[in-house]
Amino acid sequence: MIKIVLVGDIGSGKTYISKLFKAPYFSADIEVEKIYKNSRKCFQALRKKFPNLIKTFPIKKKELSNVIKKNLFDLKKIGLVVHPFVRKKLKIFLKKNKKKKIVLLDIPLYLENKMYQKGDVVIFLKTKRKDVVKRLKKRKNFNKKLLEILRKFQLTLKQKQKKSKYVLVNNYNSANIKNKVKILKDKILNDRSSS
């Protein structure tokens, strides 16, 4: 099984492009949402760390945003609680799909959390910052301050690109990116079968 990991800026199109590969897809963001909605264990752990700010189950993103806005370093504390739950879900996903040719992983802090393993194929999504901001502003809960806080905890785009095997330019043209993804997927499969 080839693990393909997409990295790039927040809002660079990782989720959309992951789906274009037409392969089993793991989204850490989706899993975190489910954990916040369904895991009382996670809620209790977060409430214990932030008793004055985390009050309701299911966990509300607004409460978590307030924690982060109050103290930016609490983002790491949240991560320490939530990441073990996500890693468990990832392990189940990989086990379930171990016979597939490829799987796609959309994990925002994949490189930062040192989850990279030998043989993983990391693809950097190159986008123009102005296009990313324009797209992010269309999101329902867009918060510029929170966006800047989240970016501080990520590697720079140059660092992400340097750690990637491939670069895929996303200009947000649907037909264009579909074609690029098909070509890249074939190349990855050919490269792996010839090695």
Residue 187 has pLDDT above 90, yes or no: yes
Q: Would strands 25-27 and 121-126 be described as parallel, antiparallel, or unpaired? A: unpaired
Residue 156 has pLDDT above 70, yes or no: yes
Point out which residues pair with 102 in neighbouring strands: 2
Query: Could you tell me the pLDDT band of residue 114, with boundaries at 50, 70 and 90?
Result: confident
Average pLDDT over residues 158-186: 91
Question: So what's the pLDDT on residue 140?
Answer: 77
What CA–CA distances, in Å, run from 121 to 21, 22, 60, 96?
13, 16, 34, 19
| Domain extent listing, the chain | 1-24+101-190, 27-96
Encoded tokens for 119: 């043989």
Strand order in the sheet with 121-126: 25-27, 102-106, 2-8, 121-126, 166-169
Encoded tokens for 23: 């392969």
What kind of fold does domain 1-24+101-190 have according to CATH? Rossmann fold (3.40.50)
> Residue 41 CB: number of other CB atoms within 10 A?
11
DSSP per position, 83-98: HHHHHHHHHHHHHHTT
Most confident segment among 69-83, 135-149, 161-175: 161-175
Query: Could you tell me the pLDDT band of residue 195, with boundaries at 50, 70 and 90?
Result: low
For all residues of the chain together, what is the average pLDDT?
A: 88
Average pLDDT over residues 107-115: 82
Residues 8-50 pLDDT 10s = 888 888 888 999 999 999 999 899 999 999 999 999 999 999 9
Question: So what's the pLDDT on residue 86?
Answer: 94
Centroid of chain to Cα 15:
8
Q: How many angstroms separate the CA atoms of 106 and 98, rounded?
A: 17
Q: How many angstroms separate the CA atoms of 64 and 78, rounded?
A: 8
Residues 50-104 pLDDT 10s = 998 888 899 988 888 888 878 778 888 898 899 999 999 999 999 999 999 999 9
Average pLDDT over residues 103-129: 88
Question: What SS3 class is residue 137?
Answer: helix
Q: Would strands 2-8 and 102-106 be described as parallel, antiparallel, or unpaired? A: parallel
22 or 144, which is more confident? Answer: 22
Query: Could you tell me the pLDDT band of residue 145, with boundaries at 50, 70 and 90?
Result: confident
Q: How many angstroms separate the CA atoms of 12 and 6, rounded?
A: 10
Does residue 58 have a cis peptide bond before it, meaning omega lies within 30 degrees of 0? Answer: yes
For residue 141, give the amino acid letter: N
